[in-house]
Every structure is written in C-alpha cells, then in structure tokens.
Amino acid sequence: MWFVRLLSSSIGKKLIMAATGLLLVLFLITHAAGNATIFMSSDVFQSYADELHSHPLIVLVFSFSLLLIFLCHIVAGLYLFFENRKVSHSRYEVTTRVVKNSFASETMPYTGLIVLLFLFVHIFGFTFSPKDVQISVTVKELLGNFFYALFYIFAFVALTIHLSHGFWSMLQTFGINHPRYNTLISRLTLGIPLFFLLIFGGVALYFMTGLGAHY
Ligand code: HEM
C-alpha cells in the first residue's frame, strides 16, 4: 500500500507530519474563529453551531477526515519518535542528529500526548454532549467548572509549545527556509501558537473566572 511505503522512508514520514500538521492548523484556525463567537453572545455562538449542524453530511465527512488526519499525524509521529530514539541510542548519535534541540522539540511526544488526552476529554464532553441541551449551555457548564477549565488551559499551553516547534519543523520539511524570511518565520512560529492560546485560553478563562456567568 502506498501509505505503508511512504511511512517506511524517513522523508515520507516527515512529509506526512508536515502535511497533516498544516491541515490541523487550518482546522484550528476555523475552530478558533467559531469559538471566538462565544465572546459575542450565547445566541451568536448557538446560531453558528446550529448552522453548522444543519449540514449533517458535511459535518460527518469533515469529522471522519479530521479523525484520519489526526491518526496519520500520530502514527507518523510515533514512528519518527522511535526511529530517533534508536538513532540516539546508537554510537552514531553525534553525526546523525540534525534536529534543533530546544525545549519544544525535545518534548514533542509529551506535549502531543497531553493534546491527545485533551482531545478525548474534549470530544467526550462536547461532541458527545446530550443532544437535548444546547451546545452553548454545555460550554458554559463544563468550562464553568474550575478544574475542568484549568485542565483545558494546561492542555492549551502544551498545544502552544507543540505548535511552536511543529510549525517551524513543517516549514523546514517544505523547504521554506531562507535567510531573508527567517525573521518572519521566527515571528510566525511564535505568533500563530500564541494566537491560539489567546483565543482558546481566553474562552476557558472567560467561564472559569465567572466573567461568563450570565452567558
Ligand atoms: C476553549 C476552547 C474550545 C472550545 C470552547 C471548543 C468547543 C468545541 C465544541 C462546542 C465542539 C463540538 C461541536 C459540535 O459538535 O457541535 C468541539 C469539537 C471539537 N473540538 Fe473544540 N473547542 C475548544 C478547543 C479545541 C482545541 C484546542 C482543539 C484541538 C487541539 C479542539 C478540537 C476539537 C475537535 C477535534 C472537535 C470535534 C470536531 C468534529 O467532530 O468534527 N477544540 N469543540
């Protein structure tokens, strides 16, 4: 199968990571835009969610594609992690390591695992929430719980760290690396993850602090 063949080469795995990572960032942009409507009013957010669910086929195809993208990202990531570990335990370690060693790059599997754990909790709480309760009410009730919101903020910090290295790595894989653009690239690798932290973390804080109590 072409996917298995692609997975067996290192550059194939890097390409899968980069392409699926890019698609996940695009998903996060649309998700952050949708969630930003929470700050307008519960009615605006609820009509956004209702509009989305008035196209069940599109939602179904989108959800399955997203699941597939997540799975490819995780499987390729695990392969790369174990391959790198094998290399780092071999006597060729010094000559074969080309990845920049920052806190974010060293902790990629762990921050990735925290985001995965978050996704299980998140989808269980929101996507599979009781259908007779409006989603705007579910968001308010779940994030109004201090510890639930705290866990969300912890996961968003992990997501920010994960993205800061992931975005940089994706650009390297795609060959987007030129001294003229390096300042812009550094700003984007920090700016985009912080933008997500601001929106998602802002929503969690809004309910956690009681600001959204009358939502
Ligand atoms: C406070 C921040 C967030 C809020 C309030 C929020 C809200 C929601 C809601 C309400 C849904 C259910 C949509 C529906 O079925 O009606 C949902 C689904 C989902 N969210 Fe979030 N979300 C947040 C952050 C995130 C983050 C950071 C990620 C990714 C790392 C994420 C990934 C997902 C995924 C994968 C789904 C399922 C999408 C699908 O089934 O197609 N969410 N979110």
The CATH code of the domain that includes 51 is 1.20.1300.10
Domain assignment present for residue 215? The answer is: no
The answer to whether the CB of 10 falls within 8 A of the CB of 99 is no
The total domain count for the chain is 1
**CB of 135 closer than 6 angstroms to any ligand 1 atom:** yes
pLDDT tens, residue by residue, 46-63: 999 999 999 999 999 999
Q: Does the pLDDT at position 95 exceed 50?
A: no
- Look at the block and give the residue holding tokens 């600001």: 211
Please report the pLDDT score of residue 101 as a whole number.
Answer: 63
Domain assignment present for residue 214? The answer is: no
Please report the pLDDT score of residue 85 as a whole number.
Answer: 82
Residue 58's CB: how many other CB atoms inside 10 A? 11
**CB of 115 closer than 6 angstroms to any ligand 1 atom:** yes
Work out the burial of residue 131: count CB atoms within 10 Å of its CB; fewer than 13 is exposed, 13-18 middle, 19 or more buried: exposed
Q: Does the pLDDT at position 131 exceed 50?
A: yes
Q: What is the mean pLDDT of residues 137-162?
A: 97
Domain assignment present for residue 213? The answer is: no
Please report the pLDDT score of residue 119 as a whole number.
Answer: 98
Q: Which domain does 108 fall in, by range?
A: 2-208
Domain assignment present for residue 110? The answer is: yes
**CB of 159 closer than 6 angstroms to any ligand 1 atom:** yes
**CB of 200 closer than 6 angstroms to any ligand 1 atom:** yes
**Residue bearing the bigger pLDDT, 170 or 95:** 170
Please report the pLDDT score of residue 197 as a whole number.
Answer: 98
Q: Does the pLDDT at position 98 exceed 80?
A: no
CA-156 nearest atom, ligand 1: 27
pLDDT band at 83 (very low <50, low <70, confident <90, very high): confident
